[in-house]
Structure 1
Amino acid sequence: MSTGSNRILDEFARLMTDAAGAAQSVRKEAETAIHAQMERFINSLDVVKREEFEAVREMAIKARDENDALKARIEVLEAKLANNG
């Protein structure tokens, strides 16, 4: 009878292992589907990626710095013109 009991436990263990594997497979498939759906949703929005945002931000900072430098040069030139005129 011990052999029959071991066989039943072995079958049960195999069944549980198969069930756990199937559950993990279903979970991965669901995650993949949800991830794909979320990516489609985000792509449908009018948003920029972080990398693009940072690149444009750096360009804007550089342009502002250049603009400030040009403004300072113009002020110096205008002051010279006012003193000479």
Structure 2
Amino acid sequence: MDACALVTQEEAEKLAGTPLEEPVSVRETCTYTGPVSGPLAQVEVFVSVSGTWVAVRLVRLDDPAGYAKRLTDVARTVAGRL
């Protein structure tokens, strides 16, 4: 399963609220990072193929409560793609 296909760059940028670099895919993971000029942002997608579970992690320095709806929206999108 391609983790980068579960959360597109556009979706990751919407989640993080900032432009992100091209994704880096390693085995069942996909990582989008913010540009070196800032702001600090990272979206990680982890996929367990056998157990069919997915985790999406957002790293930002702001209040996490501001991202709750966006995380829920991404979770629904990913669930639909499984």
Give the TM-score, by structure 2 length: 0.22
The structure with more radius of gyration:
1
Give the TM-score, by structure 1 length: 0.21
